[in-house]
Chain A
């Protein structure tokens, strides 16, 4: 177990290094002279030179990469050009919004997705299954931002039940906080519920066809014990896998949902950064997200080995 953990940790090291290099390379993808692109078309030669020097673009490529790693080792993730702020503090300010949104959406998704997915598997090839899987299919097919705009029109503009945009911090007013997030979180969950239900169904079908389920049934255990305890427990392993994917899609999807509902989160920050050609900001956010996901994937891998003794990596 300890050896395995160590091995997994060691495997994550090159991934972190490659993530850093990839984020660094983003800047070199810029066509032509990055300094000109960042400074803008109308910038004076002096201004361009200034940008070039500030970003260290006047140095050789390998030296730039070296400096990049040196800064990372010191915990410096760069500074935003448009905000006059370090990337970390800009992200820190917006983190609560994105975390609340993603957290709420996952809290909605997990119970519903697993419940309906299991129901579909249990009642396979009946109308229950068809209905649930049909709805789940719609969930993964309908574009989230489009249904989100439609939902704003219905629930905020026409019915006036919920605010159409904006964010109220949890510390300020818990009720308004929930009101400002409930619609965005549900919209973000639609895809995820569909995804999780489909995943749960096939995992449960897999388990339900196993020999030990037949054994449990034939030795006279109640249906509840068979399915509830034996099957469900085994399918729960899936929650661990699902969590990794759900966190990833929730944070990815929040980029678009924050834009629709004008929520001041990290996703909106990235989009603003891209439209304002604030590449150091985009680079920094990508890098930090990359690190976070390397950590999440590592956690998923390790949890696997704890939860399922059959999983052994050689």
Chain B
């Protein structure tokens, strides 16, 4: 039934993956080179973040003033900062904060976006209102919107998460709505409707699962954007506040003495770049496999 609908459906926005096809998709994903590289990068960084206490065994805020500005050496692989703190330790602990924020924002904005998108597609009366609110939110550049929102409750990790989530929900909602609008016209959804399935059941059982793949691709990119945005916010002084290390605020602290102690700001920036690179690669791979319309070359 689903297979049939898939084959006749208009361009099948998000293919319904029957078990065998799902397995095939997984196999193609695993064979995809940018997906492999991306996955490795993200895994390594995630493991480093999770096991940070085991890896360094040093307190990230332990200050040893006699050991200020030590360049990278065997004892301090990434050198020390203006307070004599170990930069490697701070970058590892910063990874926990930055990656966590990125993950939470990606998941939260994905879930909210999915809800709004499906509601808008299912209930046409809500559609105009919901989508105009999304248009309005999208009228602000994301970083500016996030700045405005973090300004209100004051700079904290929670406000960064809320601000970035609000900034990235509209794009997710649009994506889900677009594919939900295609899916709801497919024969099997019509059949479910005729068979008397409730709106809720149709939304949750039929429309949502089949709108998930483009959203998943989008969420991977949001993960990357959020890490970059969190770093920018913390750099501007409105994100995660010291002494809690985040990649952004380590760079902000290191910036003042960038010429004398370049290593303080170099390594967290590399961390951000690698994380964003890994996630972008993952996203590219997912898109190629899950969203065949965009399959390149």
Interface residues of A (CB under 8 A from B): 11, 14-15, 18-19, 22, 26-27, 29-31, 124-125, 129, 137-138, 140-147, 149-150, 153, 157, 201-202, 205, 248-249, 251-253, 255-256, 259, 270-271, 274-275, 277, 279, 282-283, 286, 289-291, 293-294, 297
How far apart sit A32 and B236, CA to CA, in the bound complex (Å)? Answer: 25
| Other-chain contact of B144, A14, A129, A270 (Cβ < 8 Å) | A270
Evaluate contact between A252 and B141: CB separation under 8 angstroms. yes
**Does B238 have its Cβ within 8 Å of any Cβ on chain A?**
yes
Nearest chain-B residue to A152 (Cβ)?
A: B258
Evaluate contact between B139 and A19: CB separation under 8 angstroms. yes
Nearest chain-B residue to A251 (Cβ)?
A: B141
Given contacts A143-B269, A149-B258, 17 further A-B contacts (CB under 8 A): A11-B132, A15-B136, A26-B151, A31-B152, A124-B297, A141-B277, A143-B251, A145-B251, A149-B255, A153-B262, A252-B141, A252-B143, A256-B235, A275-B237, A282-B151, A286-B145, A291-B139
Evaluate contact between B296 and A124: CB separation under 8 angstroms. yes
Q: A142-B273, A143-B232, A289-B144 are in contact. Are A31 and B153 (CB under 8 A)?
A: yes
Evaluate contact between A141 and B276: CB separation under 8 angstroms. yes
**Does B142 have its Cβ within 8 Å of any Cβ on chain A?**
yes
**Cβ contacts under 8 Å, A142 to chain B:** 269, 272-273, 276
Evaluate contact between A137 and B281: CB separation under 8 angstroms. yes
- Number of residues from B at the complex interface, CB < 8 A: 48
| Other-chain contact of B139, A26, A29, A271, A293 (Cβ < 8 Å) | A293
Evaluate contact between B151 and A274: CB separation under 8 angstroms. yes
Q: A252-B144, A274-B147 are in contact. Are A22 and B251 (CB under 8 A)?
A: no
How far apart sit A147 and B262, CA to CA, in the bound complex (Å)? Answer: 12
**Does B148 have its Cβ within 8 Å of any Cβ on chain A?**
yes
Evaluate contact between B149 and A19: CB separation under 8 angstroms. no
Cβ < 8 Å to A, chain B residues 61-112: none
Evaluate contact between B139 and A290: CB separation under 8 angstroms. yes
**Cβ contacts under 8 Å, A275 to chain B:** 237-238
Cβ < 8 Å to A, chain B residues 240-297: 251, 255, 258-259, 262, 265-266, 269, 272-273, 276-277, 280-281, 284, 294, 296-297
**Cβ contacts under 8 Å, A297 to chain B:** 135, 138-139
**Cβ contacts under 8 Å, A146 to chain B:** 231, 251, 265, 269, 272-273
Nearest chain-A residue to B146 (Cβ)?
A: A252
| Other-chain contact of A15, B132, B145, B150, B266 (Cβ < 8 Å) | B132
Q: A249-B141, A251-B141, A293-B139 are in contact. Are A256 and B296 (CB under 8 A)?
A: no
**Does B140 have its Cβ within 8 Å of any Cβ on chain A?**
yes
| Other-chain contact of A149, B135, B251, B280 (Cβ < 8 Å) | B251
**Cβ contacts under 8 Å, B150 to chain A:** 274
Evaluate contact between B238 and A14: CB separation under 8 angstroms. no
**Does B224 have its Cβ within 8 Å of any Cβ on chain A?**
yes
Evaluate contact between B258 and A248: CB separation under 8 angstroms. no
| Other-chain contact of A293, B140, B148, B266 (Cβ < 8 Å) | B140
**Cβ contacts under 8 Å, B152 to chain A:** 26-27, 29-31, 279
